[in-house]
Amino acid sequence: MGRGSTPGKTSTYPALEGGKLIMTKDLTTGSPMRLILNFTLPTLFGLLFQQFYNLVDAMIVGKLLGSQALGAVGSTGSINFFVIGFCLGVCSGFAIPVAQRMGAKDYPQMRRFAANAAYLSAAIALALTVVTALFCGDILTAMDTPADLYADAYAYIFVIFLGIPAVFLYNLLACIIRALGDSRTPVYFLALSAGLNIVLDLALILLFDLGVAGAAIATVASQTVSGAACLVYMVRRFPILHVTREERQPNLDACKTLCAMGLPMGLQYSITAIGSIVMQVAVNGLGSVYVTAVATANKLQQLLACPFDAMGSAMATYCGQNVGAGQLDRLRQGVRSCSLLGLGYAIIAFVSMLFLAPQATMLFLDPAEGGLDTLVALTAQYTVVLTAFFFPLALVNILRFSIQGMGFSALAILAGVLEMIARTVVGWFFVPAIGFPAACFGSPAAWICADLFLIPACLGCIAHLRRRHPTAGLETLSKTAVSTQ
């Protein structure tokens, strides 16, 4: 990869001794807007397929098992996000040192980080699986889950927690591949798994009569397939990641750097989820119909917000590679370009839901069930309010992942704390006093509070790097960036 490579094009990097080469994407040259858009689109398709797991579960559960079963699955959403969000954050954080060493062309250290990330992920996955499976029932009880939803909620979330190793398997591999600039490869396996998920959902619910547990089993099995396929492809087609005996040895310094990146990102997700849990408890107190309305709207919102998640993933890799390469002038350009993309999509999403929210709600419900008018109206109200504040959500993803890509993962925790505080205040004080309308503004309040911190924090991180490293070489800059936690 040289400075003479064609801007925005795929570049060839030397991989191993013996002349093997691997094609990856260089995000340190060319138009930031074009690079980010080209990186975001494949990532978006991957996230859409990933969300397809949850959406298919919700659609099939709602249409085949009824709105009460859908409410039971939805009532586990906040605790699901608390645990699975931690896993996703850790995987994203582990990939940042890989991206930075890629930008610095330090391939042996890049592979060392990848190997040690795998060891740490296996250990964390095992510990989380044991703890969450043991205390699953206690958690649902503490959240005041409605009695008529408890049995199905437990059956669903217990299986999901048993699948935590599958979550780590796919997401760690996908994040590492994206760190090399390849955002397309993981999408193909998710497409295959999405189809498998549909088949298994229908088979386990209709033929084997496993209820909501069958939907959870289908999700875990599909995730396992996508992770295994990603691993096989990585081994065969990415020789740049083939580690030597020395590189695969556990390395304490590498583990410290990975934990300094991954754990803050994971904790940021979990801290944010604490506020969501408080909100879920408040909504649980309103009754089952409100629980189902919020659950349905959140499923729809997760689908609509996929572009923002893809933009965040793109910015983490973009900023990581450019910090590693010493291209600090490109950081602000990239953040500005991605924010414009986020604004454009936020406007489209809001206008669409302003007119189509009731129709979109029926994706998850069976019209033959009857008596759904109130549920549809509540779900549409919640959805329209959320999409009205989509641009603040876009900035949360873009700025937070940009900060993390620059090497300041610990700062993201503060944004998560502000989100938690906002949702907690709304859940504890406003929902009991005002009711459902207050619940609609819980997430928007959290996004705005986070942005009040993230905007100056992102600008401050860029200014800090420019002041501290005005003429630093690639090696010094990239190493320092991962140590400024």
Q: pLDDT value at position 19?
A: 36
484 pLDDT more than 70:
no
Enclosing H/E stretch for 21:
strand 21-25
pLDDT digits (tens, 9 = 90+) for 300-333: 898 899 899 889 988 988 998 888 888 888 999 9
> Is residue 205 in a domain?
yes
Whether this model's pTM surpasses 0.85: no
Cα-Cα-Cα-Cα dihedral of 419, 420, 421, 425, to 10°? 110
For tokens 């009695």, the residue is 147
> Is residue 229 in a domain?
yes
> Is residue 84 in a domain?
yes
61, amino acid identity:
V
> Is residue 1 in a domain?
no
Contact call for residues 161 and 83 (beta carbons, < 8 A): yes
Distance of CA 425 to the CA centre of its chain: 25
Pick from 434, 368, 334: nearest CA to 40: 334
Q: pLDDT value at position 203?
A: 92
Q: pLDDT value at position 370?
A: 62
Give the total number of structural domains in the chain.
1
453-473 average pLDDT score: 83
Calpha distance 473→484 (Å, rounded) = 17
> Is residue 5 in a domain?
no
Q: Residue 473: pLDDT band by 50, 70, 90 thresholds?
A: very low
> Is residue 231 in a domain?
yes
Q: Residue 415: pLDDT band by 50, 70, 90 thresholds?
A: confident
* DSSP code at position 12: E
pLDDT digits (tens, 9 = 90+) for 96-150: 898 888 878 888 999 999 999 999 999 999 999 999 999 999 999 988 888 888 9
Calpha distance 336→36 (Å, rounded) = 11
What's the Cα-to-Cα distance from 440 to each of 294, 295, 414, rounded to whole Å? 9, 12, 23
Average pLDDT, the chain: 84
pLDDT digits (tens, 9 = 90+) for 370-394: 668 888 999 999 999 999 999 999 9
Q: Which domain holds residue 268?
A: 10-481
> Is residue 79 in a domain?
yes
397 pLDDT more than 70:
yes
The 3-state DSSP class for residue 9 equals coil
32 pLDDT more than 90:
no
The 3-state DSSP class for residue 7 equals coil
Q: pLDDT value at position 87?
A: 93
481 pLDDT more than 90:
no
> Is residue 3 in a domain?
no
Structure tokens belonging to residue 415: 């944004």
22 phi/psi in degrees, rounded to 5: -140, 140
